[in-house]
Amino acid sequence: GAVVSQHPSRVICKSGTSVKIECRSLDFQATTMFWYRQFPKQSLMLMATSNEGSKATYEQGVEKDKFLINHASLTLSTLTVTSAHPEDSSFYICSAKDRRNTEAFFGQGTRLTVV
């Protein structure tokens, strides 16, 4: 299957700082990328969908000024958590698909801890 690489796998940051998470498709062109947040013992909640070259579409309740998503190329999307607070601590997962696929491929996830 196609490979999606997410980096970093773990990050600890101080409250008030910003953190950038990268999601790369290694062997296909990701026309669409999805960003999810997963709380402990809960399912994945879709935060936003981004299409290459377009602004991301955020789900209801997700602050677009806090969770900045950039999808400037067909192989890279980034999620920046701005002015992070402890309640932003969570597991963030990206997935990506190309134009043809009926499935998306997931990155390994990023465990964010804000202290």
Partner 1 sequence: AQSVTQLGSHVSVSEGALVLLRCNYSSSVPPYLFWYVQYPNQGLQLLLKYTTGATLVKGINGFEAEFKKSETSFHLTKPSAHMSDAAEYFCAVGTGGYQKVTFGIGTKLQVIP
> Which residues lie near partner 1 (CB under 8 A)?
1, 4, 6, 9, 32, 34, 41-44, 46, 91, 93, 95, 97, 101-109, 111
Q: Give how far Cα 18 sits from Cα of 23, 68, 71, 78, 84, Å.
A: 17, 10, 18, 13, 6
Least Å distance, CB 82 to partner 1, is: 23
What's the token pair of residue 5? 């690489």
Beta strand pairing call for 4-7 and 105-106: unpaired
If the CB atoms of residues 67 and 92 are measured against partner 1, the closer one turns out to be 92
Q: Please name the amino acid found at residue 62.
A: V
If the CB atoms of residues 66 and 111 are measured against partner 1, the closer one turns out to be 111
Least Å distance, CB 93 to partner 1, is: 5
Least Å distance, CB 10 to partner 1, is: 8
Least Å distance, CB 32 to partner 1, is: 8
What is the spatial distance between Cα 35 and Cα 77, in angstroms, rounded to a whole number?
Answer: 9
**Residue corresponding to tokens 């963030």:** 92
If the CB atoms of residues 42 and 73 are measured against partner 1, the closer one turns out to be 42
Q: Is 30 within 8 Å of 50 (Cβ atoms)?
A: no
If the CB atoms of residues 1 and 86 are measured against partner 1, the closer one turns out to be 1
